[in-house]
């Protein structure tokens, strides 16, 4: 039985940077990633350890955060705000960090580690503590920009054989309509979507309207990373649903985007919206407005992936997400068991307390290139 008045005193924080090489380079409209600089938070409260991942990229080409800005903000501003504090629930971390503007991914790493602790202390799977109900989550894949259509078709073929339920293609100007046309011709029936990562301008409306002929589930973030209004102008002229990714940093952005008609689908990324508390709020707004959601990915290690799976058990996550098997990214992940996807294209939500995966501490240490440790 959990004690009547439950509190967690945050008595230690460890920040680590791991160097992890992806199995293959991943290309979007704005960058190519091969060596990931993964930041992990390990928090301790009342003898229990919880883990979170900061999903910032190495450079500020997806959002404004980077590995190094996150390190700076955690060390110089977040640790002093949370270390030694007692909280009754992980949601309170959000208010402790509230004075800090932006830096959602850094905040999420810290807050999510405390969620892991709370779930362990209460003996609940994190998914259940968050309010998740789904026993398994549907999975798709995000395929980076490829050198040739032949290579892309071969990749799609192997992902479909593995069971993945939908395919997302990264696109950019010059690598867009012809590629989508070729894929659609080979696979007339598959659930297909594209992600532009903000590579287009509203003036390219004719090109963007041409996507309407390919029966796409959605076009993700075609316009500027911070411009909801222009997406509303575009959505009014597109039949294909727009899905916002980069634009949505908090519940208020989701509310604005939905009310403006800027999107018909939202991709929720835990890091981008500042952690589980705000992710759940964005989810709830979407459910109230009949906007389907799915879980996006940031090429996470197993720890970020485990948090994504827990969040994806919330009932509004009705579309296949970008959360896929550990083996698609890493020769060896840092959790065990690794994340596996069934032949039906689903991941089972763990039923053991906390994240539901063990941390391979030895592997974490081997991959660590720097760390800092704080006690009150
Ligand atoms: O826009 O969804 C995106 C990866 C890095 C940065 C942005 C995005 C992505 C992905 C990959 O699409 C998702 C994944 O497989 O983790
Ligand atoms: Mg995206």
Atom of ligand 1 nearest to the CA of 168: 12
> Cα(119) to centroid of ligand 1, in Å?
27
Residues of the chain with pLDDT under 70: 1-4
pTM: 0.97
Q: 62 in ligand 1 pocket by Cβ < 6 Å?
A: yes
- Give the 3-state secondary structure of residue 301: coil
Atom of ligand 1 nearest to the CA of 141: 15
What is the reported pLDDT for 141? 98
Q: Which of 175, 191, 269, 280 is catalytic?
A: 269
Q: 296 in ligand 1 pocket by Cβ < 6 Å?
A: yes
Cα separation of 80 and 68, whole Å? 18
Active site residue 155: no
For the chain, domains (ranges, CATH) are: 8-123+361-374 (3.30.390.10), 128-358 (3.20.20.120)
The ligand with the least distance to the CA atom of 30 is 1
> Cα(248) to centroid of ligand 2, in Å?
11
- Give the 3-state secondary structure of residue 168: strand
At a CB cut-off of 8 Å and minimum separation 6, what does 307 contact? 52, 53, 112, 115, 116, 126, 270, 276, 355
What is the reported pLDDT for 4? 55
> Given the structure tokens 């290579």, which residue do they identify?
151
Cα separation of 261 and 84, whole Å? 44
- Give the 3-state secondary structure of residue 19: strand
Q: 299 in ligand 1 pocket by Cβ < 6 Å?
A: yes
Strand partners for 14: 42, 373
Active site residue 269: yes
Give the closest residue to 248 by CA, choosing from 259, 239, 236, 237: 259
> Cα(232) to centroid of ligand 1, in Å?
23
Give the closest residue to 52 by CA, choosing from 132, 118, 108: 108
Q: 142 in ligand 1 pocket by Cβ < 6 Å?
A: yes
What is the reported pLDDT for 376? 86
- CA 90 vs. chain centroid, Å, equals 19
């Amino acid at each position: 039985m959990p004690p009547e008045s439950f509190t967690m005193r945050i008595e230690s924080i460890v920040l680590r940077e791991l160097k992890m090489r992806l199995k293959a380079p991943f290309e979007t409209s704005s960058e190519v990633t091969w060596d990931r600089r993964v930041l992990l938070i390990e928090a301790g409260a009342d003898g229990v350890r919880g883990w979170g991942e900061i999903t910032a990229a190495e450079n500020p080409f997806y959002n404004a955060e980077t590995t190094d800005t996150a390190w700076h903000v955690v060390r110089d501003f977040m640790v002093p705000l949370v270390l030694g504090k007692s909280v009754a629930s992980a949601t309170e971390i959000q208010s402790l960090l509230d004075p800090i503007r932006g830096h959602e991914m850094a905040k999420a790493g810290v807050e999510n580690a405390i969620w892991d602790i709370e779930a362990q202390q209460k003996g609940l799977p994190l998914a259940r503590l968050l309010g998740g109900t789904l026993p398994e989550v549907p999975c798709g894949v995000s395929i980076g920009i490829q050198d040739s259509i032949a290579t892309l078709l071969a990749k799609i073929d192997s992902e479909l054989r593995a069971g993945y339920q939908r395919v997302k293609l990264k696109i950019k100007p010059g690598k867009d309509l012809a590629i989508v046309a070729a894929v659609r011709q080979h696979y007339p029936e598959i659930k297909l979507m594209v992600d532009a990562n903000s590579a287009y301008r509203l003036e390219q409306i004719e090109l963007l309207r041409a996507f309407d002929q390919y029966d796409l589930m959605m076009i993700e973030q075609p316009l500027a990373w911070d411009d909801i209004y222009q997406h509303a102008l575009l959505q009014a002229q597109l039949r294909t649903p727009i899905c916002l990714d980069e634009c949505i940093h908090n519940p208020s952005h989701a509310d604005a985007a939905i009310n403006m008609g800027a999107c018909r689908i939202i991709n929720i990324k835990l890091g981008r919206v500042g952690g589980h508390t705000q992710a759940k709020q964005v989810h709830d707004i979407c459910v109230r407005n009949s906007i389907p959601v799915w879980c996006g990915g940031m090429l996470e290690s197993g720890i970020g992936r485990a948090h994504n799976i827990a969040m994806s058990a919330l009932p509004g996550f009705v579309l296949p997400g970008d959360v896929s098997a550990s083996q698609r990214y890493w020769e060896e992940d840092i959790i065990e068991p690794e994340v596996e996807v069934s032949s039906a294209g689903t991941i089972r939500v763990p039923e053991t307390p906390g994240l539901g995966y063990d941390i391979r501490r030895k592997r974490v240490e081997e991959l660590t290139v720097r760390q800092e440790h704080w006690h009150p």
